[in-house]
Structure 1
Amino acid sequence: MGTDTSTSYTDFMGEVQHRIEAGTQAEAVRTTRAVLVTLGERVNEGGATDIASPLPMEVDRYLLAADHGQQFDFTEFVTRVHERLNYDDLDLESGYGRPGAIDESEATYRAKAVIALLEERVPGEDLANVASQLPDEFDDLFELADAEATPWEQG
């Protein structure tokens, strides 16, 4: 796919929905937000801005609005994503429905799937800059991005 920076919001969410096998686009939105807000919290503001710039405006705000530069490990990253996936927040329009019961392994998979999509949409040096801010234990987050074959490509 390369670095096609003209990704629309609908296309982006459609791709997330496909990768996580979500029944609804709302679930894809919830997942994207959970992962990107958490990533935005972990990296510095410059890193968040680098990743956000090629993304659709409705997506980049998740990264940009986060409280940047927090220090936490990969386990805490997954915990935060997991909590956000399962949290029934009222600031989402009612059309987003109720959260599903998602366990931590599914939360981890979804985080990896969203990161892999970022790797396709964000120029390599920008994502590498962000990855370099993370301890080695975060390498797992990028494993699907580097995979020869991903679960969603195996029809």
Structure 2
Amino acid sequence: MRHDEFIGKVQALTRLPDRGSSERATRAVLSTLAERLPSGLAGHVAAQLPPTLASPMRETTPGERFDLTTFAGRIAGRAETDEDAAVREAAAVLEVLDAALTPELTEKVAAALPKDIGGLLPVGRAAEDAD
């Protein structure tokens, strides 16, 4: 998936007012996701993204353990929004990310995340519905 297509889909899902806001939200989510994923997995995700979107994933220190509250707080700080909006934006970015990655990689990402964060991914929501 190309950069413009990714950002356009995020904007459509989030209904953010402009591409700049969608870009900021996308970068905030990808950076925070990279902090939560193990380093090798974050690298595999970055490899399947356009270079402009891969860079936020490569510029962070991976492998931290934190929950949805911390995840949302970090996104909110980076995207200059509140935590409720950050969760909605994260769900949108992760939905577009799901479409950009191979299904196998998406499943690995979901498995590496705690349920509260993984539930934002389409594959994570499906797993919750099956429980």
The TM-score bracket by the shorter chain reads: 0.7 to 0.9
1:63-142 to 2 correspondences below 5 Å: 63-86=57-80, 102-142=81-121
Q: Is the 8 A contact 1:74 1:137 kept in 2?
A: yes
- Tell me which residue corresponds to 2:129: none
1:31-70 to 2 correspondences below 5 Å: 31-70=25-64
Q: Is the 8 A contact 1:119 1:145 kept in 2?
A: no
Higher mean C-alpha deviation, range 48-57 or range 135-144:
135-144
Aligned residues: 126
Instruction: Determine the C-alpha separation between the residues in 1 that align with 2:114 and 2:123.
Output: 18
Shift of 1:113: 0.4
User: Based on CA coordinates, which of the two structures has the bigger radius of gyration?
Assistant: 1
Shift of 1:145: 7.4
Q: Is the 8 A contact 2:76 2:86 kept in 1?
A: yes
1 or 2, which has the higher helix percentage? 2
* 5+ residue gaps, structure 2: 127-131
Structural RMSD (CA): 1.7
* 5+ residue gaps, structure 1: 1-6, 87-101, 148-155
Instruction: Determine the C-alpha separation between the residues in 2 that align with 1:19 and 1:71.
Output: 28
TM-score by length of 1: 0.75
Which stretches of structure 1, 4 residues or longer, exceed 4 Å deviation after superposition?
143-147
Whose RCO is larger (CA < 8 A, sep 6+)?
1
When residues 77 and 13 of structure 1 are mapped into structure 2, their CA distance, relative to the original with a 3 A threshold, is same
